[in-house]
Amino acid sequence: MAKKFELNEIEVWDGNMAAAQALRQADVDIVAAYPITPSTPIVQNYSKFLADGYVDGEFIMVESEHSAMSGCVAASAAGVRAATATSSQGFALMVEVLYQASGMRLPIVLTVVNRALAAPLNVNGDHSDMYLGRDAGWINLCSYNPQEAYDLTLMAFRIGEDLRVRLPVMVHQDGFLCSHTAQNVRPLQDEEAREFVGEFKAVNSMLDVSDPVTHGVQTEEDWHFEHKARQHHDMMSSFDVIREVFGEFKERTGREYDLVYTYKMDDADVAIVALGTTVESARVAADQMREKGVKAGVVSFRVLRPFPFNEIVDALGDVKAIAAMDRSAPGGTFGMLFNELGAALMAKGKRPILLNYIYGLGGRDTTINMLREVYEQLNECAQAGEAKYPLQQFIGLRGPKLSFY
Amino acid sequence: MVKKIKNLKEFSLSNDRFEGANLMCPGCSHNIIVREVLNATNDPVIVATATGCLEVCTAVYPKTSWDVSWIHIGFENAAVAAATVSAAYEVMKRKGKLPPATQKMVDEGREPKIVAFAGDGGTYDIGFQSLSGAFERGHNFMYVCLDNEVYANTGGQRSSSTPIGASTTTSPAGSVSYGEKMQKKSMVEIMADHGAPYVAQVSPSKWKDLVKKVQKGFEVYGPVYINAQSACTTEWKHAPEDTIEVSDLGVESCVWPLYEIINERDEHGIIYSTKLNITYRPKKKIPVEEYLAAQPRFRHLFKPENRHIIDLWQKAVDARWEYLQRREEAGV
Amino acid sequence: MAKDMKHIDIEEIQKLGWDELIPGAALFSFREPVEDVVEVPMEERPYAPTNSHEWQVGDWRVEKPVYNRDLCIDCQFCWVFCPDMSILSRDKKMIGVIYEHCKGCGICVEVCPTNPKSLLMFPEHMDNDEALKRWPQKEEKKKD
Ligand SMILES: Cc1ncc(C[n+]2csc(CCOP(=O)(O)OP(=O)(O)O)c2C)c(N)n1
Ligand code: SF4
Ligand code: SF4
Ligand code: SF4
Ligand SMILES: [Mg+2]
């Protein structure tokens, strides 16, 4: 049995400590992991908890992220709770196995501390890794601060392991801005967290030698489509479970989570849609704009996959101008948020002005002033009733202005 | 618990846990090896398999050929898969949370044996990192390489196990090429140098030697590596009925020497002794040429312009056999 | 709802729609738990329909091995080297060939040590009784 970790009502934790504490309280049986900035402290903290007797599990420091995720897949198929953490290049190396984990329907939890992808090599935050894995069949939860990183990591186990879901779950937090920024966090006490997460429910465990099971089969054109359809269906149906878990968490903690996060959207004319810590900066910018009489709001995805189609359109449907702010190099098209929001709005007959801003790559600072400038542009567009600016702009960039369309 | 197998008749009392109507080629050695390994124990077995012939032919939806729990994740991760299943088993055992049927076995002294099967591609090449890591970490499992010296499943490309002179689809023999240019990598020594307690080379044709080694491997705690010769009728291009004959030629010519390396550690984990034992000595070492002649993948070597490769082969095999004997004599 | 793939038949399995599949494409070996599988011979195992044991590959063959009990010395070479678990042995005795699973590789014939052999390949369509009638005589050992 693990020792109880005495926690204060309010702890000062950075996002990495918050995630590590959630993994500890979830009684993860196997953590197979490999270090990479900025997520390294999660596994370091976890191994320290283990060394001090605060967890009763196994930490396997493997030789690569590919093996880290492979180890989690094997452990989960063996019928035990498995989790890991990574960032950036490590995430990229895991990608093959991310698809195997979701296809095999194993409820692994992966805490991703978002960081740019090389080349050029860069250790700082952007969302390239998140975007790389968004179609890997994992549930994607997004946090904006350490408290949320903690809360969502605990909830990730509940959601993924629910028998109606059985899918792996990623919890994202921004590299450095969240992972290394100490803030007040109100944790659950160990017993309460354990009770909330519950015992791991093994499904088709390989360790039951009386009921042999085959995991990771070959399917060809006669079966693959049906399995992928089933997987997609179950992902699309997981909204109910996600809402249930969010609801129960609110009852316990008073902290409320929704599929889509909104700030001052009731009467908003202009809105920024962004992910990660930018949400918090955008809130400040929105407040300042409101002081100037601009009805500004902020929208974000709490759940990026499954894609909350109805909720995102409900949140944005009456807005006149929207900034889809993508913090990932778009690689020859618009940013993911622009494309996905555009499709969702159009499909529901909404035609707000939609602009794409590429920002903050490789950890480039995103100031409140920059976000205010985005609102100013949106406001101009809203008043004119047409896009007064190029559809895609790079902001915060040195050199001549870069924009398209 | 060690299964008593005095002779072949006794071995034939085994009830297979690997099933027919799988999709492996007629005459495939992989199957023979898997049978011999699984039948070497009566303890429960849990298997991880790398992508490759064995995987794509024994778990094709909606049917499985395994009567033991089995997992395939990818091509390069069979070692970490088996190693982590082993770790998961140990955690659950420690926590007293094993499924009841498994706990019962453990109480009877019949702990599950965790075995990884992978091809030479999945072992010598793409899976090497995961294998090396799992061995260095010392997990308790057995890794069996089904060494057919080629990427068979994808149509016969060379691997770092392909021997010199073999014609493969990516090292084809041609008017200006005798085929594969590199000598085969020595996996057995490489794995022994990881400090694994037990490492051995086997051939399915010498079933008793194989079974004994697998049993020894199951008895030690820690990672065990078994390099199994696996004649491939499709890529070595011999007739299916000749699988055992070709395997025997490999053993009798010392192309495929049968030996084991035992690393013994003291209570601090320090290796105090490394011993290499040759476990089979051909009565009369036959010329390598006979082994090569039995396999059309080497047919072009018999052209006058390529004969020097056959001489080179013989030299290399002799040198290696010498080396093994010297190590055995020296007790290192 | 996922169908209970342990308890439906092979024809039904082949028609399953996406909604009836077991998440993660897991397959089962047996219909019900088998406490100690090594103690249970294949005739007595509760194979699930998803176990390849329940399927056939006999139609891969052009030639089949025919077994001649009269010559057999029960050495079990054929049993140990058959790649496809298709030699049925019980109580240290060779009993016969499992034709549903035999792929006709001919290994069993090659390794059979008796003279004449106790296993021989015959055309697939030939009756086994007919094959036994055509069994060759003892072959003189060639001197070299
Ligand atoms: C990451 C990755 N790269 C390549 C492949 C393609 N691939 C599948 S099996 C295989 C060859 C397997 O060769 P080997 O490991 O020797 O096994 P064999 O089929 O010979 O038994 C290859 C190249 C793959 N499945 N995954
Ligand atoms: S190609 Fe070779 S290894 Fe693969 S199934 Fe056929 S005989 Fe076996
Ligand atoms: S190999 Fe021949 S003699 Fe030996 S058991 Fe089989 S049939 Fe009988
Ligand atoms: S022909 Fe091959 S598959 Fe058939 S019984 Fe003989 S060895 Fe087995
Ligand atoms: Mg191979």
- By Cβ distance, the residue of C16, C27, C35 closest to A210 is C35
Is the Cβ of A166 closer than 8 Å to some Cβ of chain C? yes
Q: Structural domain boundaries of chain C?
A: 10-54, 58-133
- Whose tokens are 């700082």? That residue is A124
Query: Could you tell me the two tokens for A264?
Result: 């001052």
Q: Do C33 and A210 touch (CB under 8 A)?
A: yes
Which is the closest atom of ligand 4 to the Cα of B27? 2
Using an 8 Å CB-CB cutoff, list chain C residues near A138.
none
Query: What b/e sequence results for B86-122 when a residue is b if at least 16 CB atoms lie within 10 Å of its CB, and e otherwise?
Result: bbbbebbbeeebbbebbbebbeeebbbbbbbbbbbbb
Q: How far apart (Å, rounded) are the C-alpha atoms in residues B151 and C144?
A: 40
Q: Do A230 and C37 touch (CB under 8 A)?
A: no
Query: Could you tell me the two tokens for B203?
Result: 């051939």
Q: Which ligand is nearest to the CA of B236?
A: 2
The CB of B186 under 6 Å from ligand 1? The reply is no
The CB of B249 under 6 Å from ligand 1? The reply is no
Concatenated DSSP letters of A104-121? TT---EEEEEE---SSSP
Class of domain B8-330: alpha beta
Using an 8 Å CB-CB cutoff, list chain B residues near C102.
20
Query: Could you tell me the two tokens for B76?
Result: 């390069």
Q: How far apart (Å, rounded) are the C-alpha atoms in residues A155 and C132?
A: 70
SS3 content of chain B, % helix, strand, coil (to 5): 40, 15, 40
Is the Cβ of A299 closer than 8 Å to some Cβ of chain C? no
pLDDT on residue C144: 59
> How far apart are the CA of B161 and the centre of ligand 2, in A?
16
Question: Residue B154 class from Cβ within 10 Å (0-12 exposed, 13-18 middle, 19+ buried)?
Answer: middle
Is the Cβ of A199 closer than 8 Å to some Cβ of chain B? no
> How far apart are the CA of B207 and the centre of ligand 4, in A?
17
Give C16 to chain A, closest Cα distance, Å.
9
Residues with Cβ within 6 A of ligand 4? C 65, 82, 84, 86-87, 97, 102-108
Q: How far apart (Å, rounded) are the C-alpha atoms in residues B153 and B157?
A: 9
Give A122 to chain B, closest Cα distance, Å.
25
**Tens digits of residue pLDDT in C58-74:** 999 999 999 999 999 99
In the 8-state DSSP scheme, what is residue B200? Answer: E
Q: Do A233 and C18 touch (CB under 8 A)?
A: yes
Q: Do A80 and B46 touch (CB under 8 A)?
A: no
Give C85 to chain A, closest Cα distance, Å.
19
Q: Do B67 and C29 touch (CB under 8 A)?
A: yes
The CB of B146 under 6 Å from ligand 1? The reply is yes
Is the Cβ of C1 closer than 8 Å to some Cβ of chain A? no
pLDDT on residue C142: 64
Residue of C nearest to A106 (CA): C24
Using an 8 Å CB-CB cutoff, list chain C residues near B22.
52, 57, 84
Phi and psi at residue A171, in whole multiples of 5°?
Answer: -120, 120
Q: Do B105 and A79 touch (CB under 8 A)?
A: no
Which is the closest atom of ligand 3 to the Cα of C89? 5
Nearest to B244 by CA among C134, C113, C60, C30: C113
Q: How far apart (Å, rounded) are the C-alpha atoms in residues C24 and A104?
A: 4
**Tens digits of residue pLDDT in A50-68:** 999 999 999 999 999 999 9
> How far apart are the CA of B250 and the centre of ligand 5, in A?
17
Residues β-bridged to residue B70: A214, B47
Using an 8 Å CB-CB cutoff, list chain A residues near B16.
none
Q: How far apart (Å, rounded) are the C-alpha atoms in residues B293 and A44?
A: 57
Task: List all residues of chain A from 53 to 112 with a beta carbon under 8 Å from chain B.
Answer: 56-58, 60-64, 66-67, 70-75, 77-80, 96-97, 100, 104
> How far apart are the CA of C71 and the centre of ligand 3, in A?
8
Does domain A11-253 bear CATH number 3.60.9.10?
A: no
Nearest to B231 by CA among B65, B120, B155: B120
Q: Structural domain boundaries of chain B?
A: 8-330
Q: How far apart (Å, rounded) are the C-alpha atoms in residues B100 and B205?
A: 38
Is the Cβ of A213 closer than 8 Å to some Cβ of chain B? yes
* 3 state SS of B1: coil
Q: Structural domain boundaries of chain A?
A: 11-253, 261-404
Surrounding residues of ion ligand 5, Cβ less than 5 A: B 119-120, 148, 152
- By Cβ distance, the residue of B10, B21, B243 closest to C52 is B21
pLDDT tens digits for chain B (332 residues)?
A: 999 999 999 999 999 999 999 999 999 999 999 999 999 999 999 999 999 999 999 999 999 999 999 999 999 999 999 999 999 999 999 999 999 999 999 999 999 999 999 999 999 999 999 999 999 999 999 999 999 999 999 999 999 999 999 999 999 999 999 999 999 999 999 999 999 999 999 999 999 999 999 999 999 999 999 999 999 999 999 999 999 999 999 999 999 999 999 999 999 989 999 999 999 999 999 999 999 999 999 999 999 999 999 999 999 999 999 999 999 999 99
> How far apart are the CA of B153 and the centre of ligand 1, in A?
6
Using an 8 Å CB-CB cutoff, list chain B residues near A32.
80, 84
pLDDT on residue A1: 77
- By Cβ distance, the residue of A61, A78, A220 closest to B88 is A78
pTM of the predicted model, to two decimals?
0.98
Q: Tell me the Cα Rg of chain B.
A: 20
Please answer whether residues C46 and C32 qualify as being in contact, where contact means their C-beta atoms are separated by less than 8 angstroms.
yes
Nearest to A23 by CA among A149, A138, A115, A163: A149
pLDDT on residue C143: 59
Name the helix (H) or strand (E) containing B115.
Answer: strand B113-119
Chains that touch B (3 or more CB pairs under 8 A): A, C
Give B114 to chain A, closest Cα distance, Å.
10
Query: What b/e sequence results for C88-107 when a residue is b if at least 16 CB atoms lie within 10 Å of its CB, and e otherwise?
Result: bbeeeebeebbbebbbbbbb
> How far apart are the CA of C117 and the centre of ligand 4, in A?
14
Give CA separation, A368 vs A280, A289, A337, in Å.
10, 11, 20
Pairing of strands C87-90, C93-97: antiparallel
Using an 8 Å CB-CB cutoff, list chain A residues near B42.
none
Using an 8 Å CB-CB cutoff, list chain B residues near C44.
none
Please answer whether residues B323 and B278 qualify as being in contact, where contact means their C-beta atoms are separated by less than 8 angstroms.
no
Please answer whether residues C78 and C108 qualify as being in contact, where contact means their C-beta atoms are separated by less than 8 angstroms.
yes
Q: How far apart (Å, rounded) are the C-alpha atoms in residues C24 and A223?
A: 12
Q: How far apart (Å, rounded) are the C-alpha atoms in residues B110 and A359?
A: 60
Task: List all residues of chain C from 22 to 41 with a beta carbon under 8 Å from chain A.
Answer: 23-30, 33-35, 37
Sheet containing A109-114, strands listed edge to edge, beginning at the edge strand earlier in sequence = A58-61, A30-33, A82-86, A109-114, A169-174, A139-142, A303-305
- Whose tokens are 């880290």? That residue is A68
For the domain covering C58-133, report its CATH number. 3.30.70.20
**Tens digits of residue pLDDT in B262-295:** 999 999 989 999 999 999 999 999 999 999 999 9
Q: How far apart (Å, rounded) are the C-alpha atoms in residues B193 and B263?
A: 9
Ligand 3 pocket: which of C88, C109, C112 to mutate (most atoms <8 Å of CB)?
C112
Question: Residue B298 class from Cβ within 10 Å (0-12 exposed, 13-18 middle, 19+ buried)?
Answer: buried
Please answer whether residues A166 and A79 qualify as being in contact, where contact means their C-beta atoms are separated by less than 8 angstroms.
no
In the 8-state DSSP scheme, what is residue B123? Answer: I
- By Cβ distance, the residue of B73, B94, B102 closest to A208 is B102
Amino acid at B24: M
Q: How many Cβ atoms are within 10 Å of C118's Cβ, its own excluded?
A: 24
pLDDT on residue C20: 97
Q: How far apart (Å, rounded) are the C-alpha atoms in residues B14 and B117?
A: 20
For the domain covering A261-404, report its CATH number. 3.40.50.920
State which residues of chain A have pLDDT below 50.
none
Q: Do B66 and C29 touch (CB under 8 A)?
A: yes
